[in-house]
Amino acid sequence: MLKIENSILKSKYNNLLKFFEGKIVVVAFSGGIDSTIVAEIAHRSAKRMVALTADSITVLPGEVDKAKDLAKKQGWEHKIVFINELEDNNFARNPTNRCYYCKAGLSKELNKLFKEIDADIIVEGTNFTEVTGEHRPGLQALKENEIKSPLLEEEFSKDEIRELASILDLPNYDKPSLACLSSRFPYGVEITPDKLKRVGLAERYIIDTYKINSLRVRDHEGLARIEISPNERSKILSISIFDDLNEKLKSLGFTYVSIDCRGYKSGSLNEMITISEL
């Protein structure tokens, strides 16, 4: 019997168990903690749960393999499908509602699986904390495709999700939030395979070499702006590391390499959006 001392969290968990009970469920599973929680609870309660992971050049290198390993460890039924978002020019030109087109493309693949297994429902992992004051055009595409967001509907905060994941003994309970690599470019700057590749390789190098948990490499048309979580900035404060980052990122195709003194801030490029563009 699962022991949850927090009564509010216990109630939300039980509500999700009831929500999935007896259903055939498709879960959009990215490998992040939010979709992991959704998949795990559905796996425990649903008649059948199939997790679908989208492999893409917009995904940080190595993350799909981690998702595959996690699904195997948890004993889930898991499928991987390749999606090339850049085939849609609406996405590639990088408008302020770019995420709408990304989620619309993902929704098509989820609906294919939905029909294939005769499922009752499709769900994904957006949580309540994410939508508070944030620019989230992708939610509209999910709604149009009748894809449910149970964590959002139950008003799960990020802290509650991590607490529950720890109780459920999920191995990625403290995994930092990740985002599509296309979010590294200012709106209006065209996204190309080469740009995505250099950003992805730059982030993977910094994460693996300097054991950084949360960072983004923003690409300002060839200028790399490295954002590292405020409490981790000290990890790279040395002349030798500066020299290494400069050499490595230039070898990947960046012209200039800089470090953002403020540190990592989720959605920092959204600060450039005016009200009229929303």
Q: What is the 3-state secondary structure (H, E, C) of 85-116?
A: HHHCHHHHCCCCCHHHHHHHHHHHHHHHHHHH
38's CB contacts (< 8 A; 6+ apart) are: 16, 27, 29, 123, 124, 125, 150, 151
Radius of gyration of the chain (CA): 19
Both tokens of 254, joined, read 């960046």
Is there a contact between 19 and 2 (Cβ–Cβ < 8 Å)? no
Q: Which domains does the chain have, with CATH numbers?
A: 8-167 (3.40.50.620), 181-272 (3.30.70)
**pLDDT score, position 278:** 47
**pLDDT score, position 136:** 86
Angle between helices 63-74 and 33-45 (to 10 degrees): 20
- Cα dist from 260 to 16, 230, 236, 264, whole Å: 40, 10, 12, 8
- For residue 73, report the phi and psi dihedrals to the nearest 5 degrees: -60, -40
**pLDDT score, position 268:** 59
**pLDDT score, position 132:** 74
Is there a contact between 141 and 103 (Cβ–Cβ < 8 Å)? yes
Is there a contact between 33 and 7 (Cβ–Cβ < 8 Å)? no
The rounded distance, in Å, linking the Cα atoms of 269 and 225 is 11
What are the per-10-residue average pLDDT scores of the chain (278 residues)? 91 98 98 97 98 97 97 98 97 96 96 98 95 82 97 96 97 91 96 98 98 96 97 96 98 98 78 51
**DSSP calls for 230-274:** GGGGGGG-SHHHHHHHHHHHHHTT-SEEEE-TT---TTGGGGG--
- For residue 259, report the phi and psi dihedrals to the nearest 5 degrees: -120, 130
**pLDDT score, position 196:** 98
Residue 197 CA from chain centroid, whole number: 17
CA atoms within 13 A on the CB side of 222: 3
